Chains A and B, each alone.
Chain A
């Protein structure tokens, strides 16, 4: 058990809809990272928050947004969903802001767009 909790585990929705994925980091970790994993794109870094502030941005679409709350949990919002957004979305956490330490991953949210 990594200590990182993601909800929901599965999400099925339709094109054009909006969903919110939630992540609770491991106790004591201040950084939260979001990744998208699909068969054709592999594991893609989306965005990182550190202690409530955006720290780094990757290949995140404008239709996607995220935030980290004062209690350090994070939410990833996906809107105007398209078929291509179907993927596994992972949250990871680490103690510090840099990627020179292990990241601890949740088991992901599997998003299916019909």
Chain B
């Protein structure tokens, strides 16, 4: 079963609005990563947050991590039509594998 579960499964917003996606996981993690996947393309790494970090920023992206609640959120501010994609969280527990969630499909309407 998937370690990470994204919420919501689908999100539709207007250009300029903020988009928030959540990820919950089950076991203790070393780090959590967010990836974007455009339709028919490979995943693109967005941001990595370590278990001892609470918040991280990269451009219009803000990621938070709450290890006590085993959850993370990805905020995209001032969204653009080009942000339309699926967003996945991935967790590293131990060793070398990443476990991906099922993703949130974000649609940004122009």
Contacts and interface: CB of A to CB of B under 8 A. Distances in A.
Contact of A42 (B33, B95, B103): B103
B88 interface: yes
Task: Say what secondary structure dominates the interface of chain B.
Answer: strand
Given A103-B45, A106-B42, A45 B31 contact: no
B96 interface: yes
A85 interface: no
Contact of A45 (B35, B42, B99): B99
Contacts of A107: 40-42
Q: Which range contains the number of A residues in contact with the other chain?
A: 20 to 34
Interface in A47-102: 48, 50, 55-56, 58, 90, 92, 97-102
Q: Which range contains the number of B residues in contact with the other chain?
A: 20 to 34
Contacts of B100: 35, 42-43, 45
Nearest to A35: B100
Q: Which of A35, A45, A99 lies at the interface centre, i.e. has the most chain B CB atoms within 10 A of its CB?
A: A99
Interface of A: 2, 4, 31, 33, 35, 42-43, 45, 48, 50, 55-56, 58, 90, 92, 97-108
